[in-house]
Structure 1
Amino acid sequence: MNLTIVEADFQNPNHAEAIPLLINAYALDPMGGGEKLPDEVLSRVVPGLSAHPSSLVFLAYDGDRPIGIANCFVGFSTFAARPLVNVHDLAVIPEYRGEGVGERLLEEVERKATALNCCKLTLEVREDNRARSLYQRFGFGDFTTGKEVMRTIFLEKKVGES
């Protein structure tokens, strides 16, 4: 494998083609819901990410083939008064799982977060996701306030459905 990780340039046609391809591959996986995203949604992904001022996207390639994505957003920790990076989507196409691609993507995310003076990385993960072991090996753990570990849950409320 000839693995390279790049920060996406939304104006680069190769990157603009890879992003919806990889997001849809993630959606097709059971961890992403197991269903293809509508073409209309896929056509809005790159323009939407490009317009979002805090988006950070990293792409993994084997040669010229896109094989993984880390879709992130910069946020702000009010308790640390510093930025943070949330890993919103981390996906590797099935035939490359277990080959270190996810770890390399996370390394690039952490490198960028350090350069931005971020205080932490965050992510949400399904309890049944095999990638949890990767996240734990990489240093992700339960949310804590001081010395107290707090289990957190992820809630959502859909608004503005279209």
Structure 2
Amino acid sequence: MSTVTISIADFDNPTHAQAIVDCINAYATEHHGGGAKVAPEIASQIVPGMKRIPGAFTLLAWDGDKPVGAAVCFMGFTTFAAKPLVNVHDLSVVHEYRGQGIGSKLIQAVEDHARELGCCKVTLEVRKENPLAEKLYLRMGFGDPDGFETRFLDKKLT
């Protein structure tokens, strides 16, 4: 493997847009990601949709010109500190590149970018069925704030 680089995706660059979708599909096809690629009609709307969200950004990991990972992020705000935050919504490393420190590099790049943006923290969630990701996040210093166990719940709107 050559040196992996991290860059901020340009949502208007078709190569970057496809890299984002490919990395999301790499996660989606795993059991804890749902077991199937994102439907084409949804995949085609991922990057255009993110472009419409203020504060959305994606960091891409590259091995040369091959995309090997992505961190899809959105800025938010924490009322408890009255400052912005970054939420890592999706973190994906292509299967054959796992165990090589790419996830750590992506998380570190997210933290660095969040600091540049004046954010006070980075948040993320992890599925119980994804212990390898949880191990990475714990190793990178993520945990339950102030000792309170945190759960992420959602409700799909129809």
- TM-score using structure 1 length: 0.93
Q: Counterpart of 2:41?
A: 40
Letter in 1 for 2:68: I
Per-residue Cα deviation, 1:22-58 (whole angstroms, up to 9, x for no partner): 1111110122111121100000001001111121100
Letter in 1 for 2:16: H
Matching of residues 7-156 of structure 1 within 5 Å: 7-129=8-130, 130-144=132-146, 149-156=147-154
Letter in 2 for 1:154: F
Letter in 2 for 1:158: K
Alpha-carbon separation, structure 1, partners of 2:152 and 2:82: 23
Structure 2: stretches of 5+ with no match in the other structure: none
Alpha-carbon separation, structure 2, partners of 1:62 and 1:151: 37
- TM-score using structure 2 length: 0.95
Number of residues paired by the alignment? 156
Q: Counterpart of 1:3?
A: 4
Alpha-carbon separation, structure 2, partners of 1:143 and 1:52: 27
Per-residue Cα deviation, 1:92-128 (whole angstroms, up to 9, x for no partner): 0110001000011011100110011111111000123
Per-residue Cα deviation, 1:117-154 (whole angstroms, up to 9, x for no partner): 1111110001231111111111101122xxxx211221
Alpha-carbon separation, structure 1, partners of 2:18 and 2:95: 19
Residue 76 of structure 1, CA deviation: 0.3
Alpha-carbon separation, structure 2, partners of 1:133 and 1:158: 28
Percent identity, aligned pairs only, is 54
